[in-house]
Amino acid sequence: MKFNPANIWALALVPVVTLADQVSKWLILSEPRFNALACLDGTVACGRMIVPGPIDLSMLWNRGMSYGFLQSEGIMRWVLAGVMLVIALGFLVWLLRADGRLLKLSLALVVGGAFGNLIDRVRFGAVVDFIDANALFFPWVFNVADAAISVGAVLLFVDQFLLSGRKQAKA
């Protein structure tokens, strides 16, 4: 594998995204109104905080992947964590070889977000979700890592499918 030194900024973005995700989750977990650790087992309700604007804060434990896809517990928790790790490492290898700023940015966002959610899955068996944009008609509760993965996926789509024709025409 050939490392591209021009990818340093994108590699540095990975821990920045992961850290931003983990700090935001730490703030939620440490706020007593969310009752976060007590509601982990599902026997106690998690808390909610109404804030001015279209986004509220609603503590939710997600035992699946982004936006609740593939809910799992027990041994499947570790299978899902392993699958997430393999995918994140695959994207990281792609990032190490990547050319083009948009591609690097999209991969860094996806990898950073994946590592952020993977940390939760290993620590708690579930991912901390808390951003509730229901007022914007978005029915899922999500977190910073999910947002980074989603934005990275859209940018990746734009780079690979919408801009790929332009790249080939220039070559």
DSSP 73: -
Place of tokens 């080939």: 168
Q: Which of 21, 120, 129, 159 is catalytic?
A: 129
Residue 71: C-alpha distances to residues 65, 104, 119 (Å): 7, 30, 17
Catalytic residue, candidates 120, 132, 146, 159: 146
User: Is 129 one of the catalytic residues?
Assistant: yes
Return the structure tokens found at 74: 């027990």
79's tokens: 């299978």
Neighbours of 29 (CB within 10 A): 16
Q: How far apart are CA 1 and CA 103, in angstroms?
A: 18
Tell me which residues are annotated as active site: 129, 146
